[in-house]
């Protein structure tokens, strides 16, 4: 199995594709730009959904579902929104055997259809806040496919909240950014920077876009979630007003926030190695695989021992016992390394005699012999340790690959070798930002939430006093 995976050092992007295909996470669909999420990839998405959904509910959100088809006129109501999304829209013009009176857009995101409904549902401050999330698919036309990272159709969640004041809407926007950061770091074991996008990178129709950005192993950035403060833009476009406590009329304030199946791409690229997928235990659909090692004469005894072990572990761990006798243990070891199962437990006749098991960590390859009586808590502890050490390893990597530059030449040199995040002064002008992008292909990933001191710091392009220390990187 493993020889099918191109080493990272040889060709990083081929390595990524090899992992996705060999670990059977996804496949190319008949329609260009689309992907099929295979059962193993979908199981991973289900773990991500459960984790995020739990965090959304803890913060007071409820789920609902809005239609896939949006009247074209809705999309056109918010000027920046339509301008931003137009090039990516797919439009249904013909259905039921006839040309439609009004074309219907396949949702690229649901602000417009949701705010058309909020107009019906919101009349008074008593109806606020409205905290709704939906899990669904969206479609944004893509010419190039990169499984999980860039596909025409993808799965995601989109939260759409309505508030009585600007401050409450912005507080919600930041709360959800915090939820994404927590999820990335505590579930995905991926450290992220949190900050605000420059105007050129913000969501079409937002006042401000906040984001979390992660560093992949090729030192490129990947945006792992966005949270938008929408001001009153969509309320004005859809005429959503409410009666305030002082009996005046005001437009409703809004936030929206989303994370998608891209997170699977981030997980793969943050942790995996040349043998295959490496998954943080918290999100792994299977945490422990038991591989019994036997010959014909020891088969029954070893399998019985393995089944007893599995049954004792099941209450607290996600365990799979591979009792198939057609493939060799060596083949299975390689296969489970490709699949990224965090712990492999080997049991042979000699282990059985000693009443022990051999546990092998996927990330380090480290072997531990554990007494059977103690197996459950010891395996749990190993998984917790692996979760923590994947995060620490990724954090160390990011820290080692974060640099500072004073000018364009310095930035360009660092981006070429070794690559990474580069902090540099920025005057705030779109022209300077565009020049960086044109000359280095790097963008401002974010302006950190915790603003750094810019005293004496100049813009890396024009030399004017810096307004912010921006984080530049090449990105997915």
Site for Zn ion in 368-427 (CB under 5 A): 427
User: Quick one: 389 or 429, whose CB is closer to Zn ion?
Assistant: 429
- Nearest distance in Å: CB 436, Zn ion: 9
> Interface with Zn ion includes 434 (CB under 5 A)?
no
- Nearest distance in Å: CB 63, Zn ion: 44
| The only residue of 44, 432, 446, 470 in contact with Zn ion, by rule CB under 5 A | 432
| The only residue of 31, 36, 62, 462 in contact with Zn ion, by rule CB under 5 A | 462
- Nearest distance in Å: CB 446, Zn ion: 17
Structure tokens at 456: 């004496």
CA dihedral of 381, 382, 383, 385, whole degrees rounded to 10: 90
- How many residues bind Zn ion (CB under 5 A)? The answer is 6
Q: Near Zn ion by CB under 5 A, which window of 167-175, 363-371, 411-419, 432-440?
A: 432-440
Please give the Cα distance from 377 to 112 (Å, whole number).
50
Q: Near Zn ion by CB under 5 A, which window of 340-348, 353-361, 417-425, 457-465?
A: 457-465
Please give the Cα distance from 338 to 362 (Å, whole number).
10
Q: Is the dihedral of CA 144, 147, 152, 156 positive or negative?
A: negative
User: Quick one: 310 or 445, whose CB is closer to Zn ion?
Assistant: 445
User: Quick one: 75 or 461, whose CB is closer to Zn ion?
Assistant: 461
Please give the Cα distance from 273 to 22 (Å, whole number).
13
First to last CA, the chain: 28
User: Quick one: 17 or 408, whose CB is closer to Zn ion?
Assistant: 408
From residue 133, how far is each of 56, 160, 185, 264, 416 by CA, in Å? 8, 6, 22, 20, 40
Q: Which residues contact 116 (CB under 8 A, 6 or more apart)?
A: 74, 238
Q: Near Zn ion by CB under 5 A, which window of 178-186, 259-267, 304-312, 430-438?
A: 430-438
- Nearest distance in Å: CB 405, Zn ion: 13
User: Quick one: 329 or 428, whose CB is closer to Zn ion?
Assistant: 428
Helix (H, G, I), strand (E, B) or coil at 51: helix
Beta strand pairing call for 192-196 and 443-448? antiparallel
> Interface with Zn ion includes 459 (CB under 5 A)?
yes
User: Quick one: 177 or 427, whose CB is closer to Zn ion?
Assistant: 427
- Nearest distance in Å: CB 448, Zn ion: 18
Which residue bears the tokens 């912005």? 170
Q: Near Zn ion by CB under 5 A, which window of 22-30, 393-401, 444-452, 460-468?
A: 460-468
Q: Which residues contact 380 (CB under 8 A, 6 or more apart)?
A: 316, 317
- Nearest distance in Å: CB 464, Zn ion: 5
User: Quick one: 263 or 432, whose CB is closer to Zn ion?
Assistant: 432
Q: Near Zn ion by CB under 5 A, which window of 159-167, 229-237, 296-304, 428-436?
A: 428-436
Please give the Cα distance from 220 to 473 (Å, whole number).
6
User: Quick one: 167 or 462, whose CB is closer to Zn ion?
Assistant: 462
- Nearest distance in Å: CB 459, Zn ion: 3
Q: Which residues contact 244 (CB under 8 A, 6 or more apart)?
A: 125, 164, 250
User: Would you put residue 383 in left (φ > 0), alpha (ψ -120 to 50) or beta?
Assistant: alpha
Q: Which residues pair with 34 in a beta bridge?
A: none
> Interface with Zn ion includes 95 (CB under 5 A)?
no
Kind and range of the H or E run holding 112: helix 111-121
| The only residue of 383, 461, 471, 473 in contact with Zn ion, by rule CB under 5 A | 461
Q: Which residues pair with 241 in a beta bridge?
A: 251
User: Quick one: 394 or 411, whose CB is closer to Zn ion?
Assistant: 411
Q: Which residues bind Zn ion (CB under 5 A)?
A: 427, 429, 432, 459, 461-462
């Amino acid at each position: 199995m493993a020889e099918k995976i191109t080493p990272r050092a040889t060709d990083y992007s081929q390595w990524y594709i090899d992992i996705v295909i060999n670990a059977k996470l996804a496949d190319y669909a008949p329609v260009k730009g689309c992907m099929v999420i295979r059962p193993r990839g979908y199981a991973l998405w289900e773990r991500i959904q459960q984790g995020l959904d739990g965090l959304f509910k803890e913060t007071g959100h409820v789920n609902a579902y809005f239609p896939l088809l949006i009247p074209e006129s809705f999309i056109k109501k918010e000027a920046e929104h339509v301008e931003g999304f137009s090039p990516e829209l797919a439009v249904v013009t013909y259905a039921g055997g006839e040309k439609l009176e009004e074309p219907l857009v396949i949702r690229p995101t649901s602000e417009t259809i949701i705010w058309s409904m909020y107009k019906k549902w919101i009349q008074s401050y008593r109806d606020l806040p409205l905290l709704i999330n939906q899990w669904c698919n969206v479609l944004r036309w893509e010419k190039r496919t990169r499984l999980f990272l860039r596909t025409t159709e993808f799965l995601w969640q989109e939260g759409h909240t309505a508030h009585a004041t600007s401050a409450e809407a912005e507080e919600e926007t930041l709360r959800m950014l915090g939820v994404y950061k927590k999820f990335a770091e505590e579930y995905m074991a991926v450290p992220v920077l949190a900050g605000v996008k420059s105007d050129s990178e913000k969501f079409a129709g937002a006042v401000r876009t906040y984001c979390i950005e992660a560093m992949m192993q090729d030192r490129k950035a990947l945006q792992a979630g966005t949270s938008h403060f929408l001001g009153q833009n969509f309320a004005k476009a859809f005429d959503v007003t409410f009666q305030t406590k002082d009996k005046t009329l005001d437009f409703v304030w809004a936030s929206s926030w989303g994370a998608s199946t891209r997170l699977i791409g981030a997980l793969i690229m943050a942790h995996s190695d040349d043998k295959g997928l490496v998954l943080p235990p918290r999100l792994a659909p299977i945490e422990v695989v038991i591989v019994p090692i036997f010959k014909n004469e020891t088969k029954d005894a070893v399998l019985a021992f393995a089944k007893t072990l599995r049954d004792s572990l099941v209450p607290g761990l996600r365990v799979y016992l591979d009792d198939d006798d057609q493939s060799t243990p060596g083949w299975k070891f390689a296969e489970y390394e490709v699949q990224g199962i965090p712990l492999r437990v080997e049991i042979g006749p000699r282990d059985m005699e000693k009443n022990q098991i051999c546990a092998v960590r996927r990330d380090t390859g480290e072997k531990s012999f554990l007494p059977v009586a103690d197996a459950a808590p010891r395996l749990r502890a190993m998984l917790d340790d692996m979760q923590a050490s994947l995060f620490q390893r990724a954090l160390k990597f990011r820290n080692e690959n974060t640099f500072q530059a004073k000018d364009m030449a310095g930035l360009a040199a660092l981006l070429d070798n070794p690559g990474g995040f580069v902090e540099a002064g920025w005057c705030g002008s779109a022209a300077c930002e565009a020049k960086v992008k044109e000359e280095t292909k790097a963008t401002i990933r974010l302006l950190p939430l915790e603003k750094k001191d810019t005293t004496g710091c100049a813009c890396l392009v024009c030399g004017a006093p810096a307004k912010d220390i921006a984080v530049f990187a090449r990105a997915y």
